């Protein structure tokens, strides 16, 4: 399988630096910060929300719109609890937990190495292991009794399984085909931390690929490669990505084989996306539980089969964290001044082009505004005329804006503006009338392969 090169180095940004940048520049805020925040819950700010939309759209385009064999749905977050009983989540969606008797931290038993508490470092002082269910329970209706219990979905996948027949009937698909969905999921995670890596409320992008059981192993391999390629197309450094196959004892209750796309985070390798072979577990479970037939009629063989499923399941928030960690860089210039920059690919960056008049001089304002008006329909833009031009370049570098356009006094005479490149800091002069094309060309050149 694809393994990371031995010399792969973890990202050198520490999480505190990144969390502070994310807050200061409006990517991610602690949720309800004025009340002291809330465990593992975050809000996205103006730049974060733009970047998150880019991630979702890039996934949707690659997984649904550019393909001929995948369609999308949007299912409800709160649905009939019978779904979660049949799927095994009510009984089986749990983590093994222990308490450290020394520091009282609650820890996932499968996160403990060498019998040592990861919080206080004391060895062998744990309570017995207990299973802790991750489902968030709520009540539907006026009476809060057992009959009114419902759950916030812990994954989007079940929406695809319970709609399998509706999609099949309404779209007349042939195997193999996929159903994709992007939406919020909720898990009562006990061990949290690592910023947006593990949250209580997070967003998933999942696709269930239904196929002939005879082709499922091959398709599992296909999706593993396809998903790695997608991360590379976002510009994630290949040496910090790897594919890891689960050991049999690690597999979830529904899976017959799972591989994880892993990223080398500042704290080590961690799961970025799971690619599970779910077999016919879910369709069979829902058929048995609902009494409905959930199968596919194979016209060639003239028989009904229960398709197998390969599921690439990604998390938007984990991708956001990964992209920020991966893009973070620091440089020191000739004068010994530090430059912080996010080397985000243009299609991921929240702002693609910043328009910066050289100064606030009123002679420059109309032309600068005109340039901004011209660019807004084509790019994600920002206009900034506060402080010195050098500081404004640094501010754009720090949020990953790949290109800046500067309007100066010469622009008033020669009708040209300067395009300044984030990574190389090189500058070229182009006519304002050809700015859109020149910027687009540069953006295309900067786009990662894949």
Angle between helices 435-446 and 365-375 (to 10 degrees): 60
Task: Say how many C-beta atoms besides its own lie within 10 A of residue 380's C-beta.
Answer: 20
CA angle, corner 283, sides to 139 and 288, nearest 5? 75
Q: Which stretch binds ligand ATP (CB under 6 A): 7-15, 82-90, 174-182, 312-320?
A: 312-320
Q: Which stretch binds ligand ATP (CB under 6 A): 80-88, 98-106, 195-203, 232-240?
A: 195-203
Among 47, 180, 314, 348, binds ligand ATP (CB under 6 A): 314
| C-beta closer to ligand ATP: residue 207 or 272 | 272
| C-beta closer to ligand ATP: residue 168 or 276 | 276
C-alpha 226, offset from chain centre: 16
User: Would you give the binding string for ligand ATP spanning residues 155-174, x where CB under 6 A is met?
Assistant: x-------------------
- Count of residues touching ligand ATP (by CB under 6 A): 16
189 close to 110: Cβ distance less than 8 angstroms: no
- Determine, following the binding rule CB under 6 A, whether residue 312 of this chain makes contact with ligand ATP: no
Task: Say how many C-beta atoms besides its own lie within 10 A of residue 298's C-beta.
Answer: 14
- Determine, following the binding rule CB under 6 A, whether residue 187 of this chain makes contact with ligand ATP: yes
Q: Which stretch binds ligand ATP (CB under 6 A): 16-24, 28-36, 310-318, 355-363?
A: 310-318
| C-beta closer to ligand ATP: residue 108 or 125 | 108
Q: Which stretch binds ligand ATP (CB under 6 A): 21-29, 120-128, 196-204, 389-397?
A: 196-204
Report how far residue 175's alpha carbon sits from residue 283's, in angstroms, rounded to the nearest whole number: 15
| C-beta closer to ligand ATP: residue 278 or 442 | 278
Report how far residue 412's alpha carbon sits from residue 406's, in angstroms, rounded to the nearest whole number: 12
- Of 261-300, binders to ligand ATP (CB under 6 A) are 271-274
Among 52, 198, 380, 420, binds ligand ATP (CB under 6 A): 198
- Determine, following the binding rule CB under 6 A, whether residue 242 of this chain makes contact with ligand ATP: no
Among 50, 189, 280, 385, binds ligand ATP (CB under 6 A): 189
CB 40 to ligand ATP: min, Å: 8
Query: Which of 255-287 are b and which e, b meaning 16 or more Cβ less than 10 Å from the residue's Cβ?
Result: bbbbbbbbbbbbeebbbbbbbbbbbbbbbebbb
- Determine, following the binding rule CB under 6 A, whether residue 47 of this chain makes contact with ligand ATP: no
Among 59, 151, 177, 202, binds ligand ATP (CB under 6 A): 202
CB 58 to ligand ATP: min, Å: 15
- Determine, following the binding rule CB under 6 A, whether residue 318 of this chain makes contact with ligand ATP: yes
CB 280 to ligand ATP: min, Å: 19
Which of 355, 342, 346, 371 has its CA nearest to residue 441?
A: 346
Binding site for ligand ATP (CB under 6 A): 155, 187, 189, 198-199, 202, 204, 271-274, 313-315, 317-318
């Amino acid at each position: 399988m694809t393994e990371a090169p031995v010399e792969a180095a973890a990202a050198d940004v520490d999480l505190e630096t990144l969390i502070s940048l994310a807050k200061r520049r409006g990517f991610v805020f602690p949720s309800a910060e004025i009340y002291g925040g809330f465990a593992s819950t975050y809000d996205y700010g103006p730049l974060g929300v733009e970047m998150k939309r880019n991630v979702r759209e890039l996934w949707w385009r690659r997984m649904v719109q550019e393909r001929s064999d995948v369609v999308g749905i949007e299912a409800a977050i709160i649905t009939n609890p019978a779904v979660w009983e049949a799927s095994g989540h009510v009984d089986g969606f749990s983590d093994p937990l222990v308490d450290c008797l020394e520091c009282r931290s609650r820890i996932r038993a499968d996160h403990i190495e060498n019998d040592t508490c990861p919080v206080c470092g004391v060895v062998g002082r744990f309570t017995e292991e207990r299973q802790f269910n991750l489902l968030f329970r709520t009540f539907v209706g006026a009476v809060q009794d057992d009959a009114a219990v419902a759950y916030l979905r812990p994954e989007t996948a079940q929406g695809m399984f319970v709609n399998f027949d509706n999609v099949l009937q309404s779209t007349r698909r042939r195997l193999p085909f996929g159903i994709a969905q992007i939406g919020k999921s909720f898990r009562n995670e006990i061990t949290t931390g690592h910023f947006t890596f593990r949250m209580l409320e997070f967003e998933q992008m999942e696709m269930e690929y239904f196929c002939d059981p005879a082709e499922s192993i091959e398709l599992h391999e296909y999706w593993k490669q396809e998903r790695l390629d997608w991360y590379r197309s976002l510009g994630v450094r290949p040496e910090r990505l790897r594919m890891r196959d689960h050991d049999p004892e690690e597999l979830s209750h529904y899976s017959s084989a799972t591989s994880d796309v892993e990223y080398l985070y500042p704290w080590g390798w961690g799961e970025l996306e799971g690619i599970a072979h779910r077999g016919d577990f879910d369709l069979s479970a829902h058929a048995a539980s609902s009494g409905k037939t959930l199968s596919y009629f194979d016209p060639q063989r003239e028989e009904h089969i229960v398709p197998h499923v390969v599921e690439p399941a990604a998390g938007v928030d984990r991708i956001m964290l990964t992209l920020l960690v991966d893009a973070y860089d620091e440089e020191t210039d000739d004068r010994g001044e530090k430059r912080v920059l996010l080397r985000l690919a243009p299609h991921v960056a929240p702002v693609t082009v910043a328009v910066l008049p050289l100064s606030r001089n009123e002679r420059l304002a109309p032309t600068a505004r005109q340039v901004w008006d011209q660019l807004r329909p084509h790019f994600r833009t920002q206009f900034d005329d506060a402080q010195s031009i050098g500081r404004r370049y640094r501010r754009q570098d720090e949020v990953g804006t790949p290109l800046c356009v500067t309007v100066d006094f010469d622009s008033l005479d020669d009708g040209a503006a300067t395009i300044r490149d984030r990574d190389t800091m090189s500058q070229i002069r182009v006519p304002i009338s050809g700015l859109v094309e020149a910027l687009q060309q540069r953006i295309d050149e900067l786009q990662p392969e894949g």
